[in-house]
Structure 1
């Protein structure tokens, strides 16, 4: 670590801050849907922080590249949608199944094949549908606390125009300051500043959870997280060891799933921060910024109880608004990719609307049915076009 620069420290800190502020609110919502205890919630944050930190450190040290990993943000959004009425033991079983699929994909080099099984338009439409309700949450929260939401939206717009990299952290900071000044925080809940402890949950395996949660979690993680991660690293000029990286994230998921580490994948946005010229003018030493990120992830993970406490005392409008604003870019990009190709536009629209509908048949959630209906629509229209 000789030659560590201030730019490495700053880039690493920004990556961690952006990684948490952009999606921890969504994870907290998933935790809330499952009805986990405070100890279990802290264990989830511990597992997720350590999982990102340790896998980042392993890959970065092994290959001397700024290879960052992350928890699956779209996966967390999927869990919020899919975990209603699911027991936590069944959810853990689905996480393990997803981890096994990720590991198998890495070990066998299936990534290229898997990426081509699902048309980009349909995968993007499913992702947009999953995230759509979070964007709507920004506007529904106005009924709860209009001044807070308006302020956060104003800061977001200003940030997008003048300081895009710090837009989401600035929105969160503005929301916290406003809540502090207006006494909007819940004061009857004690803030716990302590180290998180792992809580093991014995998994159970049900076909409905494996198919309705595990498979969509795997698909979303592969299509919307690992693929952008690979593209980001290639764009930065690095020959990413794709199969090895996916294997590491899959094994990390398998090990930490019983403690709340639901899915890990290659990072894209945070990786771009540490793999860009802002981290270091020399591409050969940018891995040190990723090292800083990995260490900080581990430290924040150990303080999982404090992170959970912050969101327990925060008003719901703050949590929902920061989550929605953080996902607007992803929603926009997904919708754009879904509707870009005229040949797949109808299939993508069917996929999107099915996902948004939230339907559930045979205990299988909307995302799986969305993929099925979208694929059938695409197949039918493709055959019709061929005959014509």
Structure 2
């Protein structure tokens, strides 16, 4: 009986560590590459994210005896993947990641900053995220048309598993994609490429990168990850140490930026695996799932170099298709939230379209302009409904 009570949280922690990262690792690597990372720098970023979130989880879970799960910012990675080249290149992107971490830390010191994020209508924040995701979620369709023999196995395994086990559909698709890589191009990979290694980058701050990267990354990380992460833990009867969680994730993001980590935060979907009944009948022992998740992620970190190398060696379209499939659930949730308030639908739709367009103006990407335009249109429409001349 005692062994089974321990097996619940241990097993749940291992599943959480495997399912969470494997469902979005391709998105992370694509995002880092899009803002200028070389293959070695992107691999370093993946290693950094796994280690920083694991160490943060160990601290929070043991200290508070609560299954607090941390994750990399998947919406943030998707945001990066949708961006044009960042002004100042990879050093400017790294500086922007660090500033995102500082903004998270400032939220602890200046609660008003968090209030400003909370004041952004959910319909617009989710509309911005949905627009960012649309081009990425089109990849399975375009990739299947362009390279059917390589991409079809990835899509088929996802289709087969989706109605049976939604949780494992995306990890299985990634597994098949890696098999495709080994069959078609794995021979080009050297043994040295498989060893995980950190790559230091000296940050270079540019105003364009701060506005285009730091601000949207901070908003989507807070609104789409940290706030839902608290809600998940609350729904399962746990109190989240909010200020300390922000300190841990803000420090992890800031310190990890120079080696390529874009942002870590409270997990939302993955947190439900460790905080729910699957982690054992006794809620007071589920914190063990947080510890097991952290330890498993440290083990996975040892394989991060090999995983990053295989992903980057994939034929065109294969990993893009896997990433698109991984983001479909997030896209559907974002669209639903964006259109849930009838009063904001025009502004939300405009936000989605501008973010999806990928246009850049004054060196600033579409996500920022989408949110700005959405806020203006929402304000104008609200005034018009109140009979105020505009």
User: Which bin holds the TM-score, normalised by the shorter protein?
Assistant: over 0.9
Query: Which structure 2 residues correspond to residues 1-388 of structure 1 after superposition, within 5 A?
Result: 5-86=6-87, 87-110=89-112, 113-177=115-179, 183-192=183-192, 195-387=195-387
SS of corresponding position for 2:339: helix
- Count of paired positions: 385
Residue pair 2:181, 2:310 contacting (<8 A) in 1 also: no
Q: Deviations over 1:176-206 (max 9, x none)?
A: 44555xx323422324475423222111111
Shift of residue 169, structure 1, vs aligned partner: 1.6
Deviations 1:32-73 (A, max 9, x none): 334534432332122111111011111111111000111111
Distance in 2 (alpha carbons) for counterparts of 1:231 and 1:294: 21
Please state whether the residue corresponding to 2:202 is helix, strand or coil: coil
Report if the CA contact (8 A) 1:193-1:303 is conserved. Answer: no
**Which segment is superposed worse, 136-145 or 294-303?**
294-303
Is the 1:253–1:263 contact (alpha carbons within 8 Å) kept by the matching residues of 2? yes
SS of residue paired to 1:161 = coil
Contact 2:84 2:360 in 1 (8 A): no
Contact 1:106-1:245 at 8 Å conserved across structures: no
Any conservation in 2 of the 1:83–1:91 contact (CA below 8 Å)?
A: no
Contact 1:29 1:80 in 2 (8 A): yes
Q: Are the equivalent residues in 1 in contact too, given 2:228–2:268 (CA < 8 A)?
A: yes
Cα RMSD (Å): 2.0
Alignment gaps of 5+ in structure 2: none
Contact 1:107-1:244 within 8 A present in 2 as well = no
- Gaps of at least 5 residues in structure 1 are none
Distance in 2 separating the partners of 1:366 and 1:376: 15
SS at match of 1:314: coil
Tell me if the contact between 1:7 and 1:279 (Cα under 8 Å) persists in the aligned partners. yes
Superposed displacement of residue 155, structure 1: 2.4
